[in-house]
C-alpha cells in the first residue's frame, strides 16, 4: 500500500487566495483526520470524518476553513481566503475506524506558506 497520499507537498500563495489541499487515505480505512502543525501550537486536530461523514469540526479555526470527503478515497481541505497566519504544515491521517485504540497513519504533509 502506498500509504496516505497528500498533494501538493508544498504550496506558496498570496494572502487572499484560495488554497485546496488534497488527501487520499489508505484503502479500507474508515476514518480520516486533518491536522495542522506549527511550532507555536504543535499538532492540532482540525476535523475528522468517519465513513465520509464529518464527526467533529470543532478544531476548524474559522469559517474560512472547510473540509469535504465526497467518497471513501478522497478528501479536501480548503482555505478561502488564505491569510499569513494559516502558514503551517497540514497533515492528513487515516485509521481503520473510530476509536482511540486505532493507530493513525499520517501522510507526508503539505507545507503551506501564505505571503
Partner 1 sequence: SQKIEQNSEALNIQEGKTATLTCNYTNYSPAYLQWYRQDPGRGPVFLLLIRENEKEKRKERLKVTFDTTLKQSLFHITASQPADSATYLCALDSSNTGKLIFGQGTTLQVKP
Contact segment (CB under 8 A) with partner 1 among 16-24, 68-76, 79-87, 99-107 equals: 99-107
Q: To the nearest whole angstrom, how small is the minimum distance from the Cβ of residue 39 to partner 1?
A: 9
**77 binds partner 1 per the rule CB under 8 A:** no
Size of the site for partner 1 (CB under 8 A): 27
**48 binds partner 1 per the rule CB under 8 A:** yes
**CB burial string 28-62: b at 16+ within 10 A, e below:** ebbbbbbbbeeeeeeeebbbbbbeeeeeeeeebee
CA distance 50 to 21: 19
CA distance 109 to 30: 20
Region 19-38 residues binding partner 1, contact defined as CB under 8 A: 31, 33
With H, G, I as helix, E, B as strand and everything else as coil, classify residue 103: coil
Where on the chain is the footprint of partner 1 (CB under 8 A)? 4, 31, 33, 42-45, 48, 50, 55-56, 91, 93, 95, 97-109
Amino acid at each position: 500500500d502506498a500509504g496516505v497520499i497528500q498533494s501538493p507537498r508544498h504550496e506558496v500563495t498570496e494572502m487572499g487566495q484560495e488554497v485546496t489541499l488534497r488527501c487520499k487515505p489508505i484503502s479500507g480505512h474508515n476514518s480520516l483526520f486533518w491536522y495542522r502543525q506549527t511550532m507555536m501550537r504543535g499538532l492540532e486536530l482540525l476535523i475528522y470524518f468517519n465513513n465520509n461523514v464529518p464527526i467533529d469540526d470543532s478544531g476548524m479555526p474559522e469559517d474560512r476553513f472547510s473540509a469535504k470527503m465526497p467518497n471513501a478515497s478522497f478528501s479536501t481541505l480548503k482555505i478561502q481566503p488564505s491569510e499569513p497566519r494559516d502558514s503551517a504544515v497540514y497533515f492528513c491521517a487515516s485509521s481503520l475506524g473510530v476509536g482511540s485504540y486505532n493507530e493513525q497513519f499520517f501522510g507526508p504533509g503539505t507545507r503551506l506558506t501564505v505571503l
